A and B are shown apart, each in its own frame.
Chain A
Amino acid sequence: MEVNEFINQNLIKMNLTSEDKDSVIKEMIEIMAENEIITDKEEVIKKAMEREEKGTTGVGKGVAIPHVKSSAVKRPAVAFGRSEKGIDYGSMDEKPSYLFFLITVPEESHDEHLKLLAKLSRNLIHDDFRNSLLEAKDEEEVMSVLENI
């Protein structure tokens, strides 16, 4: 199981245009829809919003990781987006978020997928990892940062 089975350059958007939480979630889900990773966009949006209601996934340190577990997801995937200006995501530390990881997994997932996602989440705690994502110039660089986790 490699990182590039989850994410590729098509799933990366370097300049998110959204300015608020709801639209950035939709913008990220749009990426998944364009790449045919999900079958029902509305359902996925609904699930993502429900998850946010239980508690924000804006985990602070400029990172937000909205995630969805749903039968409308074909395969586990991660979309990455970056916002230059930062978006008020209702984060735990009340600061804007710059790095967005949308994680989608099907209702039934293999443990190894989940373990890799867990590893990605663990890396987000590290300053170096976040900084290299913030500084990455293009999709290719983002991929190489992610592949090295």
Chain B
Amino acid sequence: MKSKSIQVNLIGKIVIFLLLLWSFINIYPYLYLMTGSLKQDRDFYTSIFNFKVLTFDSYEKMFALEELHFIRALFNSLFVAGAVTLATLFFSAITGYAISKLDFKGKSFIANFIIFQWIFTGTGVGFIVVFKLMVSLDMLNSYFALIVPFLMSAWGVFLFSQYFKTIPMALIESARIEGCSEFGIIFRIMIPMSKSVAAILGVFTFMQRWNDLLWSILVIRKPHMMTLNLTIANFVLGGGGGDKPGLIFAATVILTLPLLILFIIYRKQFITGISIGGGIKL
């Protein structure tokens, strides 16, 4: 009996060791990124534990390099991802409210359509036509092209409508009797009660827009309109990466940091989100 418990103990330790090993593998590239960004280009290939050579040179160079439009790119990314997130939250909440709490003609059709759309989100073909639409609207190089095609999310509507259904109807009835309008109900009762769902939808939408490359590379051709992601890709593709690895790494740190901060704040929502289908779009 005793030997068996020792054996179980040992297995448990091995399991924990393996789990920690994998989490080290997951974290190591981030450490590499951080130390790499703190090195000068000439010391770039030295060991990551070589702390003597660390400087903030690359960051200074990055901000000084005017053609990178770094601040502007950071703003573009934040603005685009933020606007899409807020808009998605808003529209998802009101639409979710309508299909879960209001009884109206044609509701089942709309509800079915939303499920259908969620299943076929962005068929990988449609974006070509949207791109052509953007060109014919003369909307290349604009925030319009970066934001408007992503304003709505079927997944978001679905999430909100599911959550709203758990809120008792009596609450809404009493609010109506007190003279509250439908929008009043949405924003004073429903949304405050569904903060967790809003956080889940918000963080995933933000992440997807922040990390998007394919769409923004198609519609953005002017440097000052580029998102941060695209700016870095553009700089590397243009050959700038070859002899400036430190600078690229510094920019990549800035690219990674906002999501990392968001993740640390909303880690619970991220983890819950993936089990209910988050991150599936795109």
Task: Judge: A and B partners, yes or no.
Answer: no
- Chain A positions within 8 Å of B, measured between CB atoms, are none
- Chain B positions within 8 Å of A, measured between CB atoms, are none
